[in-house]
């Protein structure tokens, strides 16, 4: 019974009302403590710099209207007021901002700073953009317009499905020529900072297609194992993802971004005639639902239901391999 009384609500504890405790419970001080902890998690490799950067941005740009509140006094009304200030950002961003805030309140609840979790208003709607994929022919046309200095790493992404940050972070030693595989161990974050793990915080091995192997072999010549596989000839240093993004945007003549034209298209092309678990492994998705949601098209489901026959389509790399063709199995 004594334990229940001590844990009950409304028990007056004079320590809770000292100036020091009141200051400690101010939102701006609690959020700073939370951000410090997230920073330590980033240093330990448990969070990506991009994630912690988003948290700091939310605190600076949106949460400041709560700064003077005692966190115990923040309820659904105050959070709804915050939500109402977000009308100038996308629905997806609003959801991310409130989800982050909910994680912060759960952190305080688990620490005992607050005794109950406040209710959160619901963000209605969905304005996220559906990613678009392109076929081999459109990829070839885009490659033909990319300057020679930037073409190989972009085609390598088309052949492997790597993220721009992953392909730019590849070292020569990550290519296993004997087994024709590559190790994906690093990626770029925050534009120009290399993180020694991938987006999913995992290291993985992936196969090289014949064309990807040719590109890798070409760029391994006379390089040490710890050199970048792809080097910008104009700078003598490894490519930064933003450089490839810019070249694609400037020259591809397509209304799709680099990510869509390479990695997303790779997954969408592959899944049309292969098992979804194989695509998941190649793409490095931690959750198979991600693979299905991003790449499994309605025409694939329709073809499976109708048991339609497959036909062979010849696809030629017109700009780089004029005398070679690849046979692609497509749903008829």
Give the mean pLDDT of the chain. 82
pLDDT digits (tens, 9 = 90+) for 75-133: 999 999 999 999 999 999 999 999 999 999 999 999 999 999 999 999 998 877 778 88
Q: Vertex 220, ends 158 and 268: CA angle to 5°?
A: 10
- Site of tokens 């052949």: 159
Higher local confidence (pLDDT), 138 or 130: 138
With a cut of 70, say whether residue 274 has pLDDT above it: no
Q: Is the pLDDT of residue 190 over 80?
A: no
**Residue 56, number of CB atoms within 10 A of its CB:** 13
Q: Which two tokens stand for residue 50?
A: 């991009």
Quick: pLDDT tens for 277-313: 666 666 665 554 544 454 444 454 445 434 433 433 4
pLDDT at 280: 64
Give the mean model confidence (pLDDT) for residues 151-177.
Answer: 95
pLDDT for 10 equals 55
pLDDT of residue 326: 43
The pLDDT assigned to 270 comes to 77
- Residue 192: pLDDT over 90: no
Beta bridge partners of 184: 204
As a whole number, mean pLDDT of residues 216-232 equals: 97
User: How many C-beta atoms surround the C-beta of residue 168 within 10 A?
Assistant: 26
Question: What domains are defined for the chain?
Answer: 10-111 (1.10.150.130), 136-297 (1.10.443.10)
Predicted confidence (pLDDT) per residue in 243-254, tens digit: 999 999 999 999
List b or e across 280-315, with b for residues whose CB sees 16 or more CB atoms inside 10 angstroms. bbbbbbeeeeebeebbbeeebeebeeeeeeeeeeee
DSSP bridge pairs for 284: none
- Per-residue pLDDT at 48: 78
Q: How far is CA 305 from CA 161, 273, 279, in A?
A: 28, 14, 20
CA 296 → CA 136, 142, 160, 305, distances in Å?
17, 24, 18, 14
Q: Which two tokens stand for residue 304?
A: 């499976």
- Over range 158-164, report the average pLDDT: 92
Residue with tokens 């081999």: 136
For residue 324, the surrounding DSSP H or E stretch is none
In the block, which residue shows the tokens 């901002």? 97
CA distance 28 to 71: 9
pLDDT of residue 16: 65
Percent pLDDT > 90 in the chain is 58
**Residue 144: pLDDT band by 50, 70, 90 thresholds?**
very high
CB 62, CB 95: distance < 8 Å: no
What percent of the chain lies above the pLDDT cut of 70?
75
Q: State the pLDDT confidence band at 201, using cuts at 50, 70 and 90.
A: low
Q: Provide CB contacts within 8 A for 308, sequence distance 6+.
A: 331, 332
**CA dihedral in degrees (233, 236, 241, 243; nearest 10)?**
-50
Closest CA to 112 of 30, 232, 213: 30
Segment 168-195 shows an average pLDDT of: 91
């Amino acid at each position: 019974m004594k334990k229940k009384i001590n844990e009950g609500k409304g028990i007056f504890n004079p320590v809770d009302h000292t100036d020091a405790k009141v200051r400690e419970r101010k939102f701006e001080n609690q959020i700073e403590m939370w951000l410090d902890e997230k920073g330590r998690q980033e240093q330990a490799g448990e969070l990506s710099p991009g994630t912690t950067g988003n948290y700091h941005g939310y605190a600076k740009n949106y949460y400041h209207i709560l700064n003077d509140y005692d966190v115990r006094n923040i309820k659904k009304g105050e959070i709804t007021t915050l939500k109402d200030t977000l009308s100038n950002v996308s629905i997806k961003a609003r959801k991310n901002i409130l989800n982050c805030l909910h994680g912060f309140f759960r952190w305080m609840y688990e620490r005992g700073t607050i005794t109950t979790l406040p209710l959160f208003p619901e963000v209605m709607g969905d304005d996220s953009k559906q990613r678009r994929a392109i076929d081999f022919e459109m990829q070839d046309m885009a490659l033909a317009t990319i300057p020679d200095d930037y073409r190989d790493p972009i085609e390598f992404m088309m052949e492997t499905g790597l993220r721009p940050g992953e392909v730019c972070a590849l070292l020569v030693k990550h290519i296993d020529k004997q087994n024709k595989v590559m190790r994906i161990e690093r990626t770029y974050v925050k534009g120009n900072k290399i993180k020694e793990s991938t987006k999913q915080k995992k290291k993985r091995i992936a196969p090289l297609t014949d064309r990807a192997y040719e590109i890798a072999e070409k760029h391994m010549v006379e390089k040490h194992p710890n050199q970048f596989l792809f080097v910008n000839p104009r700078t003598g240093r490894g490519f930064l993802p933003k450089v490839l993004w810019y070249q694609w945007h400037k020259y591809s003549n397509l209304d799709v971004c680099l990510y869509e034209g390479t990695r997303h298209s790779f997954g969408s092309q592959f899944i049309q005639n292969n098992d979804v678990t194989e695509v998941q492994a190649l793409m490095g998705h931690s959750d198979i639902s991600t693979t299905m949601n991003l790449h499994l098209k309605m025409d694939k489901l329709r073809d499976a239901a109708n048991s339609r026959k497959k036909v062979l389509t010849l696809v030629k790399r017109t700009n780089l391999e004029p005398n070679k063709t690849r046979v692609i199995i497509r749903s008829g």
